[in-house]
Amino acid sequence: MDTPDTLSKMSISNDAREMLVRAREDGIETVWDRLAAQQPQCGFCSMGVSCRNCAMGPCRVDPFGEGPQQGVCGADADIIVARNLGRTIAAGAAAHSDHGRDILEVFASLAAGETSGYEIRDEAKLLALAKEWGIEAGDRSINEVARDLADAMMEDFGSRKDHIGFLDRLPEQRRKLFEELGITPRGIDRENVEMLHRTHMGVDNDYANTSLHGLRTSLSDGWGGSMIATELSDVMFGTPTPIKSRVNLGALRVECVNIALHGHNPLLSDVIVQAAQDPAMIALAKEKGAESINLVGLCCTGNELQMRQGLPMAGNHLMQELVLLTGALDAMVVDYQCIMPSVTDVAKCFHTEIISTADKARFAGATHVSFDPQRGLEIGKQIVELGIEAYVNRNPDRVRIPAGTMDMMAGFSVEAILEALGGTPEPLVEAIKAGKIRGAVGVVGCNNPKIPQDHGHVTLTRRLIENDILVLVTGCAAVANGKAGQMLPESAEMAGPGLSEVCKALGIPPVLHMGSCVDNTRILTLAAALANYLGVDVSQLPLAGAAPEWYSEKAVSIGAYVVASGIFTVLGVQPPIFGSHNVVKLLAADLEEVVGARFAVEPDPEQAAKLICRHIEVKREALGLPFIGTGECPTDKVA
Amino acid sequence: MANMQTVFINPERCIGCRQCEFACAVAHSESKEPSLALAEDPVPKSRIHVSPGRAYNMSVPSRCRHCDPAPCEQVCPTGAMARDVSHDLVLVDVHKCIACAMCAMVCPFDAVTFHAQTNGMPARVVATKCDGCIERLDKGQEPACVESCKVDALLFGDLNTLIAANRRDVSDAVVAATKSQLPAEKLPATIAGWRLWGESAAHITEEI
């Protein structure tokens, strides 16, 4: 039996702990139970030295050096680890980029006038993108410009270009470096397909060559598929501006029909928000005894809605089962990515309807409503109706909603940050030069039950802002920091004196919510804009990335494109590469000489903060900015 | 027995792949074929158990140690647990076993489990434990768990020889310590790094 002490080691947030107690009481299994049941996990797999790419295998290499050292084909640990890492990056890049394609296809249909429930909400951004992509607007209609932009972006997915469009945002030095290294991403689908080709038996048998293509594949995600997703989502759903919101399971309301929007793609969830505001839908909810319809977000679908509409968040990745345990959720609408197959099992213990919507992501035990952008609004209403019908079956005796929500602020697109700065990066650059802000760090990525939920995100972020480092968050990291109360303008009090002063002057939090995990591209865009403004390469800037609790293949792709773009990145969870000393050395050391950045692995957020502070001071010193000597670690003073 | 052949466990080399468990179950199936074994009724069970350690990336395989004197043998009320003198193994006579679990209660290693077995009779839940792969030994094969272990966490051979091999590692460390030198690296850097992450992750959990 778990004690409160063991529950506290699963998550640092009280709403999660309260639901974990209920899970024990009701005998409902969650992700933490399944992780325990999987122990010990296979060392060949977690060190990356098992290969099942062909039928001469499966094979594994003995990392102790005495058993087999090569697979049947002759691949050693280096080749096997590089193959596996390459395929992991390809899977992650494919997930982001396929999401981007889905957005692009709806955007193209919208331009052709074939959709229902969609409009171009940010014409200025569309025109700016058209200009960036060399499309003449002239006196043509906005739809015609949109059609040309859609066509141009579609070309990025193919193999007819020598580089993808958004790559031009990078400083020239970096683009030249990519050319020299042969890692310029040419086409989004192309690099993914080529990775699968290279990792077929008997193709790329040089671990460094495979790993470099891994970087290229990831760049096709960061500067390609993901960036298209972010930019076109802004055009169709609005470019985020600072907005107040709330977070926690307390966002559920006992008196309302509660519908959670879970997954990653804003295409459907945006029309559901419209449908839930429809007077006929609200009337139906009232007729069934509810006061209204309450929508809450989960994971990155939630982040997309929170960024643009201030929709309250129920939680991040590890909350998806726990939100069902409130007994107050009437429907969970899912699109794709990071939706645990277990949600339908947990939902069976309650009245909750799980509604799947993507034909490519179906769940046994869910009600499937196939999403069609041509009938977007109609489908949105159909889904809301399902939620209202399920509400009737709610058992009030089983409702247990953890009390209270935390306020937070979202909506910091690059445009919004520049707006807050007065239209130019100059004030930010000046603050960095003066040392009031020592640097900026993207704290991003998932939850992983191997790390106490949110502990990595919250602790690392806190230490960084205490050391006057501006923190940019997306995805699960944003939710974690929101729950910890670190994302309000008042949170400036938690920051060091310099950052605190800047935040108070601008009225912004020291931790800026930049969106969903595809929106890590906003961080790339901002980093490139700063580098261009200063006339330096991205790798020279006092920046870093961190994924303290990552779990997914997408996170591996993100980490790879951040490092390839020139930004030092610390991972909290070890990637499956430790079976190859050479691959570890390449990624954690030698890449510094190749792309000007490298990876580090450190599960303890206190230690990760020290690594990052030191790194930022090294970059400041190289730029001739006031720095704190690397022998002395700033965080030491804080503790 | 002067030259006792046994399975010796090197816990620090176990990386938790659990292939020994799979191989053990197959070796104790009717068909001895992995693809067919899973379709048998009752499904064959492993007699070796890989348990998680204190931190991630730590694990220990555990099996019957064939103790002498064996506590299980001493408490078995029906004489089902008995020593096979020719192989120096403690074996269960499933026809005598009454599934009272006295053996499990006294086993210092919790190595006895209870599962359905047929052995030419209708299936019945009886004591299930390592039989030292006596069938395989008689055919001149190694125990299945040892054959499946690719990292030498499980070794088969003369007990004293295997112990002596490990003693050399200890003596390296002792010699190094007494001469104020660093001990020779016992684990490859890859494994050490992999384990270190597990240790660190466990450490932050302990601190919360």
pTM: 0.93
Buried b (16+ CB within 10 A) or exposed e, A50-73: bbebeeebebbbbbbeeeeeebeb
Other CB atoms within 10 A of residue A389 CB? 15
Mean pLDDT of chain A: 96
Residue B204 pLDDT more than 90?
no
Q: Rounded to whole angstroms, how far apart are CA atoms A146 and A405?
A: 40
Q: What confidence score (pLDDT) does residue A638 get? A: 43
Q: What confidence score (pLDDT) does residue B167 get? A: 82
Residue A634 pLDDT more than 70?
no
The string of pLDDT tens digits covering residues A463-480 is 999 999 999 999 999 999
Sign of the torsion formed by the C-alpha atoms of A418, A421, A424 and A430: negative
Q: Where are the domains of chain B?
A: 164-207
Q: How many residues does chain B have?
A: 208
Distance from CA of B15 to the nearest CA of A (A): 5
A66 contacts on B by Cβ (under 8 Å): 151-152
The string of pLDDT tens digits covering residues A65-115 is 888 999 999 999 999 999 999 999 999 999 999 999 999 999 999 999 999
Closest chain A residue to the Cα of B188, Cα to Cα: A64
Closest chain B residue to the Cα of A604, Cα to Cα: B204
Report strand pairing: A313-315 vs A293-298: parallel
Find out whether A528 and A186 touch, Cβ atoms under 8 Å: no
∠ Cα A477 A478 A484 (to 5°): 90
Q: What secondary structure does DSSP assign to A173-203, as a single string? A: HHHHHHHHHT-----HHHHHHHHHHHTSTTS
Q: What confidence score (pLDDT) does residue A334 get? A: 98
The string of pLDDT tens digits covering residues A528-573 is 999 999 999 999 999 999 999 999 999 999 999 999 999 999 999 9
Backbone angles phi, psi at A544, to 5 degrees: -155, 165
Assign domain A77-237 to a CATH class. Answer: mainly alpha
What single-letter DSSP state applies at residue B49? E
Mean pLDDT of chain B: 89
Does A455 contact B187 at a Cβ distance shorter than 8 Å?
no
Q: How many residues does chain A have?
A: 639
The token pair at A307 is: 């960024």
The token pair at A13 is: 């947030």
Residue A639 pLDDT more than 50?
no
Residue B120 pLDDT more than 60?
yes
Chain B segment 178-197 residues within 8 A of A by beta carbon are 187-191, 193-194, 197
Pick from A9, A450, A578: CB nearest B194: A578
Does B190 contact A63 at a Cβ distance shorter than 8 Å?
yes
Find out whether A263 and A300 touch, Cβ atoms under 8 Å: yes
Closest chain B residue to the Cα of A78, Cα to Cα: B190
Residue A402: CB partners within 8 Å, gap ≥ 6? A14, A15, A18, A19, A248, A249, A250, A326
The string of pLDDT tens digits covering residues A401-447 is 999 999 999 999 999 999 999 999 999 999 999 999 999 999 999 99
The answer, for A48 touching chain B at a CB cutoff of 8 Å, is no
What single-letter DSSP state applies at residue B47? S
Q: What stretch(es) of chain A map to CATH 1.20.1270.30?
A: 77-237
Q: What stretch(es) of chain A map to CATH 3.40.50.2030?
A: 255-398, 414-638
Residue B128: CB partners within 8 Å, gap ≥ 6? B45, B47, B92, B112, B113, B114, B115, B117
Other CB atoms within 10 A of residue A370 CB? 11
Q: Rounded to whole angstroms, how far apart are CA atoms A68 and A66?
A: 7
Omega within 30 of 0 (cis) for the link into B122: no
Backbone angles phi, psi at A173, to 5 degrees: -55, -45
Q: Rounded to whole angstroms, how far apart are CA atoms A432 and A485?
A: 25
A603 contacts on B by Cβ (under 8 Å): 197, 200-201, 204
The conformational region for residue B52 under phi > 0 = left, psi -120 to 50 = alpha, else beta, is beta
Does B16 contact A68 at a Cβ distance shorter than 8 Å?
no
Distance from CA of A365 to the nearest CA of B (A): 27
Q: What confidence score (pLDDT) does residue B38 get? A: 83
Distance from CA of A636 to the nearest CA of B (A): 18
Find out whether B96 and B77 touch, Cβ atoms under 8 Å: no
The answer, for A58 touching chain B at a CB cutoff of 8 Å, is no
Cα A414 to Cα A163, A370, A391, distances in angstroms? 24, 34, 39
Q: Rounded to whole angstroms, how far apart are CA atoms B9 and B147?
A: 13
Q: Rounded to whole angstroms, how far apart are CA atoms B7 and B159?
A: 8
Find out whether A591 and A598 touch, Cβ atoms under 8 Å: yes
B50 contacts on A by Cβ (under 8 Å): 40
Residue A4 pLDDT more than 70?
no
Q: Rounded to whole angstroms, how far apart are CA atoms A49 and A59?
A: 8
Weakest-pLDDT range from A40-49, A54-63, A608-617, B178-187: B178-187
Distance from CA of A393 to the nearest CA of B (A): 40
The answer, for A574 touching chain B at a CB cutoff of 8 Å, is yes
Tell me whether residue A427 is exposed, middle or buried, using C-beta atoms within 10 angstroms of its C-beta: 0 to 12, 13 to 18, 19 or more: middle
Residue A629 pLDDT more than 90?
no
Residue A322 pLDDT more than 80?
yes
Closest chain A residue to the Cα of B199, Cα to Cα: A603
3-state helix, strand, coil split of chain B in percent (to 5) is 35, 15, 45
Find out whether A90 and A192 touch, Cβ atoms under 8 Å: yes
Q: What confidence score (pLDDT) does residue B185 get? A: 58
Find out whether A374 and A115 touch, Cβ atoms under 8 Å: yes
The answer, for A4 touching chain B at a CB cutoff of 8 Å, is no
- Mean pLDDT of all residues in B48-74: 94
Q: What confidence score (pLDDT) does residue B66 get? A: 95
Query: In terms of pLDDT, which residue wins out, A181 or B86?
Result: A181
The string of pLDDT tens digits covering residues A265-304 is 999 999 999 999 999 999 999 999 999 999 999 999 999 9
Residue A44 pLDDT more than 70?
yes
Q: Rounded to whole angstroms, how far apart are CA atoms A145 and A126?
A: 8
Q: Rounded to whole angstroms, how far apart are CA atoms A517 and A194?
A: 24
The string of pLDDT tens digits covering residues A179-215 is 999 999 999 999 999 999 999 999 999 999 999 999 9
Q: What confidence score (pLDDT) does residue A632 get? A: 52
Fold of A414-638: Rossmann fold (3.40.50)
Q: Rounded to whole angstroms, how far apart are CA atoms A60 and A50?
A: 4
Does B201 contact A43 at a Cβ distance shorter than 8 Å?
no
Q: What confidence score (pLDDT) does residue A637 get? A: 46
A45 contacts on B by Cβ (under 8 Å): 17
The token pair at A636 is: 């030491």
CATH of A255-398, one of 3.30.565.10, 3.40.50.720, 3.40.50.2030, 1.10.357.10: 3.40.50.2030
Q: Rounded to whole angstroms, how far apart are CA atoms B5 and B132?
A: 10
Nearest to A565 by CA among A531, A592, A529, A538: A538
Does B56 contact A39 at a Cβ distance shorter than 8 Å?
yes
Reported ipTM: 0.79
Q: What confidence score (pLDDT) does residue B122 get? A: 85
Query: In terms of pLDDT, which residue wins out, B85 or A486?
Result: A486
Distance from CA of A217 to the nearest CA of B (A): 26
Nearest to B204 by CA among A41, A459, A254: A459
Q: Rounded to whole angstroms, how far apart are CA atoms A514 and A473?
A: 6
The string of pLDDT tens digits covering residues A346-385 is 999 999 999 999 999 999 999 999 999 899 999 999 999 9
Q: What secondary structure does DSSP assign to A289-336, as a single string? A: T-S-EEEEEEHHHHHHHHHHH-PPEEE-GGGTTTTGGGS---EEEE-S
Q: What confidence score (pLDDT) does residue B1 get? A: 44
Q: Rounded to whole angstroms, how far apart are CA atoms A432 and A470?
A: 10
Find out whether B103 and B72 touch, Cβ atoms under 8 Å: yes
Residue A237 pLDDT more than 60?
yes
